[in-house]
Chain A
Amino acid sequence: MACGLRSMRESPPMTSIYDQVLSFIRSPDPNRFESVALDVFRYQFERIAPYRDYCLSLGVTAQTVESLDRVPTVSTVSFKYAELRDGPAERVFMTSGTSIGRDERGRHFVPRLDIYRTSAMTHIAPMLFRDRRRMPILAIHPIAERMPESSLGQMISWCIEDFGTERSVCVANPQGLEIERALEFLESAQRSTEPVCILGTTAAAGALFEALRAEAKPIRLPAMSRLMDTGGAKGQANPLDAAEVVEMAARWLGIESSMVINEYGMTEMCSQFYDATRFNSAHDEPPGKRLKIGPAWLRATARDPVTLAPLPSGSIGLMSYFDLANVGSVSALLTEDLGSVERDGVRLIGRAPASEARGCALGIEQFRRQAEKRSAGA
């Protein structure tokens, strides 16, 4: 009987694994997470050749893994070099390019967009639209039809469909922000009592603040208006940290601190984390030190960077995730982000510094900045 059960687990019915995940997302049961995750791993091992090769190179097979901690995690860089896909993709999302070196972009092949959508929208609802009202949305990042390869663009499009009103507008295209249109939206919103939602990258939010500062035109958006930014320093000429985003949002848009919610996600992962603030949780910590909360179908683990062994709660390590919503690619991901896992979520301390920038040796980050300066000047 035991053998029979194991045999069923080793080869979950191919047609049902997606529905099994979808069902879990719709009705999460923490007690079932590990068993569903192991089914997903075994499915991915069988179906995704580069992942199987990677596991085999580590001496791991679908049969030798009996607990989630033993599932091999793949570095997110693998998405740049391997096609981690289960058959044809309904959509392919791409990571942003780098400013120096070869333009290698990661590709996330998503065979079923409905699972991605269910994951993203089911979790953003309590984190950003807890009050369950529709409102005008200002997209400061290109939506899906303007930038189909952007996973953020797709999420924003879904948000507009699920939480927006007919007054929602996208003021961004791949070339940049249409500042005039953004200001028109904000000025109009200021005259109304209806709260609005601004969605986009931290860099775009920074550009918006800069435009308002240049015009010396602070806006006072209606109460309960909100801003969701993501991406942190990436792409910013003068990077704003989390505290500065909150401060600028208050100064230039009149958005209250708890309504500025940073998203932590990545193209390679179909689920996301959001800042815990008093708007969406019992937490009330200053920006930059906020806990980030993920959904029940995403498990975070901080790992020892040398051994990759899971670390106890509160210990800082390399962040890894098992995202059930990634069922069509690879769910067990290892990032380059440092952080810790706490009972309710994760606390991120940022991307691992490439090396200590002290002494007369050149740290990678410093080198990169200099190289970027040079290419900007070229």
Chain B
Amino acid sequence: MGSSLTQCVDSGPIASLAMRLKVSAKTPLAPSRVSRSLARTFSLWRDPNHKRLRDAIDKIATNSGFSAELLSESLDALLLPFTAQSLESFAARVKIAPRVVGFVMPGNVAGAGIHEFAQALITGAGVLVKTASAEPSFFAEFAKTIAEVDPELAARVATIAFNRGQAEFTRALQDSCDELVVLGDDATVEMLERGGPVIGFGSRVSGALIAREALAPESIDALSDSVARDVTLFEQRGCLSPHHVFVEDETGAEAHRFAKHLALALERLARKLPPPAAIDIGATAAIRALRETSRWRKMAGAPVDLWESAGFAWTVIYDSAAPFKISPQYRTIHITPFADFADFTSRLETVRGQLEAFAIADPAEHLDEQRSWLRRAGVSYFAAPGMMQSPPLEWPHGNGAFLSRVLRIDE
């Protein structure tokens, strides 16, 4: 029925599940039919009282330590773009391609991979989802709702769980699927690539770019709240979470002012979306090291400032000299002013090719040069601040690797 998680104890179930999906996919459902069923499913999952969603949130909260409030808000942001209209529009443009698509899902962000999952189903594929041991719940619960909405569609979905160290299971997954999509860190993608061709979504980071006009007194609080939301959702652990905010500002005074506002906004949001009760020791140590470095640099007279919550709820670091900094996550963000285009690009050179998304606040629309550079540097999604976790259904994730190579969109 494809509505529950199969915990594999040997590799046999993988091949038989794949075979079942293959048989189902031979009589494909019309894309419009799939899109309607998915629209109904997504609509249920945007209802905060939907039982399957609540069950998923409870399980994910238990596994990850994230607060239920944070998860609820984060998942709602992720699912926001899956409207009946967007699904229908996509369905109208694809060709049916009956096959079995395997997915290896990541453990850091619940629901990551949902775009590719929905796209594959709409094209008539059967999908075999290998969930992460750190996050086995989202797709298992989502599949249950699909089964309740459309059992025939649910027959084209199976979720499985096994430890990624079990090489024979991974081999069975690769051998059984026509395509394998892998979302994870670069090491996971590289490991699976050794077993055959995969469509890999490896490690990526995101940022934000703010034009000076966006910092007008009447708009700075709203902007700060929006950036705080982007930083906070999913505890900053996904590829769409910003790590560093660059502010157009020659002197640094405006960027510093924004950093202060952002700290206040993060504090406000932490009351609404509580941080985890405990975070892993490595991340805590890394955040502490970052705070200590900033504190001592500031004491030494460097153009650095630090705002920090009591405990480790959030951290804002203003650093006028910093190149793009990778955050230790958990609502830790750097703010840096940039004087001009050359200054901006020089600060991002180290992450060129590893960027996924950028939030841009540019009311006067004069940062086109920066936007073009970011696109060339690999950015696949530009968002308004506050919308970074809501990329559209046809987001060319990872520079469109899945869209262009697998879906064969009828352009």
Binding site for B on A (CB under 8 A): 50, 53-54, 75, 77-78, 80-82, 100-102, 305-306, 316-318, 334, 336, 338, 352-364, 366-367, 370-371, 374
Closest chain A residue to B397, Cβ basis? A360
Cβ contact within 8 Å between B185 and A334: no
- Scoring B183, B202, B328 by chain A CB atoms within 10 A of each residue's CB, the highest score goes to B328
What are the residues of chain B within 8 A of A53 when measuring CB–CB?
Answer: 299
Cβ contact within 8 Å between B201 and A75: no
A-B contact pairs, 10 of them (CB 8 A): A77-B289, A80-B293, A336-B289, A354-B282, A359-B183, A360-B106, A360-B184, A360-B238, A361-B329, A362-B354
What are the residues of chain B within 8 A of A334 when measuring CB–CB?
Answer: 292
Cβ contact within 8 Å between B326 and A362: yes
- Given A75-B293, A81-B302, A305-B288, the answer on whether A359 and B109 have CB atoms closer than 8 Å is yes
Closest chain B residue to A364, Cβ basis? B326
Complex Cα–Cα for A78 and B300 (A): 9
Cβ contact within 8 Å between A77 and B281: no
Q: B134 on the interface (CB 8 Å rule)? A: yes
Least CB distance from A304 to B in Å reads 9
Contact of B108 among A50, A82, A361 (CB under 8 A): A361
What are the residues of chain A within 8 A of B345 when measuring CB–CB?
Answer: none
Closest chain B residue to A368, Cβ basis? B326
Q: B36 on the interface (CB 8 Å rule)? A: no
Closest chain B residue to A73, Cβ basis? B292
Seed contacts A81-B293, A361-B329; 20 additional CB < 8 Å A-B pairs: A77-B289, A80-B293, A80-B296, A81-B300, A305-B284, A306-B284, A336-B285, A355-B329, A358-B134, A358-B184, A359-B107, A359-B109, A359-B184, A359-B185, A359-B237, A360-B201, A360-B238, A361-B236, A366-B187, A374-B350
Complex Cα–Cα for A364 and B283 (A): 10
Cβ contact within 8 Å between B282 and A352: yes
What are the residues of chain A within 8 A of B289 when measuring CB–CB?
Answer: 75, 77, 336, 352
What are the residues of chain A within 8 A of B283 when measuring CB–CB?
Answer: 355-356
Q: B311 on the interface (CB 8 Å rule)? A: yes
Contact of A364 among B204, B237, B286 (CB under 8 A): B286
What are the residues of chain A within 8 A of B237 when measuring CB–CB?
Answer: 359, 361
What are the residues of chain B within 8 A of A306 when measuring CB–CB?
Answer: 284, 311-312
What are the residues of chain B within 8 A of A317 when measuring CB–CB?
Answer: 281
What are the residues of chain A within 8 A of B356 when measuring CB–CB?
Answer: 360
| Cross-chain pair count, CB within 8 angstroms | 141
Least CB distance from A332 to B in Å reads 13
Complex Cα–Cα for A367 and B286 (A): 14
Q: B205 on the interface (CB 8 Å rule)? A: yes
- Given A77-B293, A352-B282, the answer on whether A367 and B299 have CB atoms closer than 8 Å is no
Cβ contact within 8 Å between A361 and B204: yes
What are the residues of chain A within 8 A of B107 when measuring CB–CB?
Answer: 358-359
Least CB distance from A318 to B in Å reads 6
Cβ contact within 8 Å between A358 and B299: no
- Scoring A100, A305, A360, A363 by chain B CB atoms within 10 A of each residue's CB, the highest score goes to A360
Closest chain A residue to B105, Cβ basis? A359
Cβ contact within 8 Å between B282 and A360: no
Contact of A366 among B203, B288, B312, B327 (CB under 8 A): B203
What are the residues of chain B within 8 A of A353 when measuring CB–CB?
Answer: 282, 286
Contact of A370 among B132, B296, B312, B354 (CB under 8 A): B354
Closest chain B residue to A374, Cβ basis? B350
Complex Cα–Cα for A38 and B282 (A): 31
Query: Which B294-317 residues have C-beta < 8 A from chain A?
Result: 295-297, 299-300, 302, 311-312
What are the residues of chain A within 8 A of B285 when measuring CB–CB?
Answer: 305, 318, 336, 338, 352
Q: B218 on the interface (CB 8 Å rule)? A: no
What are the residues of chain A within 8 A of B124 when measuring CB–CB?
Answer: none
- Given A359-B185, A361-B108, A363-B185, the answer on whether A81 and B297 have CB atoms closer than 8 Å is yes
Cβ contact within 8 Å between A82 and B300: yes
Complex Cα–Cα for A289 and B183 (A): 34
Cβ contact within 8 Å between A356 and B282: yes
Complex Cα–Cα for A100 and B350 (A): 10
What are the residues of chain A within 8 A of B202 when measuring CB–CB?
Answer: 360
Least CB distance from A38 to B in Å reads 24
- Scoring B106, B187, B286, B354 by chain A CB atoms within 10 A of each residue's CB, the highest score goes to B286
Complex Cα–Cα for A367 and B354 (A): 9
What are the residues of chain B within 8 A of A352 when measuring CB–CB?
Answer: 281-282, 284-286, 289
Cβ contact within 8 Å between B281 and A338: yes
Closest chain A residue to B355, Cβ basis? A362
Least CB distance from B193 to A in Å reads 16
Complex Cα–Cα for A100 and B349 (A): 12
Cβ contact within 8 Å between B286 and A360: no
Cβ contact within 8 Å between A361 and B293: no
Complex Cα–Cα for A57 and B132 (A): 44
Cβ contact within 8 Å between A354 and B186: no
What are the residues of chain B within 8 A of A370 when measuring CB–CB?
Answer: 354
Q: B112 on the interface (CB 8 Å rule)? A: yes
Least CB distance from B285 to A in Å reads 3
Cβ contact within 8 Å between B299 and A82: yes
What are the residues of chain B within 8 A of A364 when measuring CB–CB?
Answer: 286, 326, 328
Complex Cα–Cα for A305 and B109 (A): 24
Closest chain B residue to A360, Cβ basis? B239
Complex Cα–Cα for A362 and B243 (A): 10
Q: B351 on the interface (CB 8 Å rule)? A: yes
Q: B119 on the interface (CB 8 Å rule)? A: no
Q: B241 on the interface (CB 8 Å rule)? A: yes
Complex Cα–Cα for A366 and B299 (A): 30
Complex Cα–Cα for A358 and B108 (A): 6
Least CB distance from A369 to B in Å reads 9
- Scoring B134, B297, B302, B311 by chain A CB atoms within 10 A of each residue's CB, the highest score goes to B297
Least CB distance from B19 to A in Å reads 30
Q: B368 on the interface (CB 8 Å rule)? A: no
Contact of A361 among B205, B280, B300 (CB under 8 A): B205
Complex Cα–Cα for A371 and B188 (A): 19
Complex Cα–Cα for A336 and B351 (A): 25
Least CB distance from A165 to B in Å reads 43
Complex Cα–Cα for A78 and B329 (A): 23
Least CB distance from A268 to B in Å reads 13
Closest chain B residue to A77, Cβ basis? B293
What are the residues of chain B within 8 A of A316 when measuring CB–CB?
Answer: 281
Complex Cα–Cα for A371 and B348 (A): 12
Q: B2 on the interface (CB 8 Å rule)? A: no
- Given A75-B296, A82-B299, A352-B289, the answer on whether A358 and B282 have CB atoms closer than 8 Å is no
Cβ contact within 8 Å between A360 and B292: no
- Scoring A53, A77, A334, A361 by chain B CB atoms within 10 A of each residue's CB, the highest score goes to A361
Complex Cα–Cα for A317 and B285 (A): 9
Complex Cα–Cα for A82 and B106 (A): 42
Query: Which B73-129 residues have C-beta < 8 A from chain A?
Result: 106-109, 112
What are the residues of chain B within 8 A of A101 when measuring CB–CB?
Answer: 323
Question: What per-residue 1/0 map shows which CB atoms of B199-236 lie under 8 Å from chain A?
Answer: 00111110000000000000000000000000000001
Least CB distance from B242 to A in Å reads 11
Complex Cα–Cα for A209 and B285 (A): 34
